[in-house]
Amino acid sequence: MSPTFEELSVGQEIGSRSITVTRQDLVKYAGASGDFNPIHWNEAFATGVELPGVIAHGMFTMGAAVQLVTDWAGDPAAVVDYQTRFTKPVLVADTTGTADAGAVIEVSGAVGALDAEARTARVDLAVVFDGQKVLMKAQALVSLS
């Protein structure tokens, strides 16, 4: 059930989740987005341009993180604004032929601000990979009934 404005308070947690990412996910995302930059799928190319290895698309990470908010809100259209700053790449290890995850992104969210007149909640997300924040000021504005 979707939250109502009246039942929310600043600091209230909306939940958390772990997002498993594989290189196969990156290839699928490349096809859907049209972003075929080889830093997102080719180890030799990525290291050749001085990256530590293949990295997830920033927009993939951003989109995967906001899913926590859309699930909590109960309607993706309730998210009327979403913004962030990219701070660190998500390194996705090659796990071909194994059941291991290439990377695990941890996402948690809390109500950061409420606007009674607009009936909106700002949800602040913490997005962490390998112990470091990969998105800063990740904030979604949610319109509530």
Residue 38 lies in a domain: no
3-state secondary structure 20-62: EECHHHHHHHHHHHCCCCHHHCCHHHHHHCCCCCCECCHHHHH
Q: How many CB atoms lie within 10 A of CB 39?
A: 20
Q: What is the CATH number of the domain that holds 135?
A: 3.10.129.10
pTM: 0.92
Q: What is the pLDDT along the chain (145 residues), one digit of tens a residue?
A: 789 999 999 999 999 999 999 999 999 999 999 999 999 999 999 999 999 999 999 999 999 999 999 999 999 999 999 999 999 999 999 887 776 779 999 999 999 999 999 999 999 999 999 999 999 999 999 999 8
Return all residues near 10 (Cβ < 8 A) that are at least 6 apart: 111, 112, 113, 114
| Beta bridge partner(s), residue 129 | 105, 132
Residue 112 lies in a domain: yes
Residue 30 lies in a domain: no
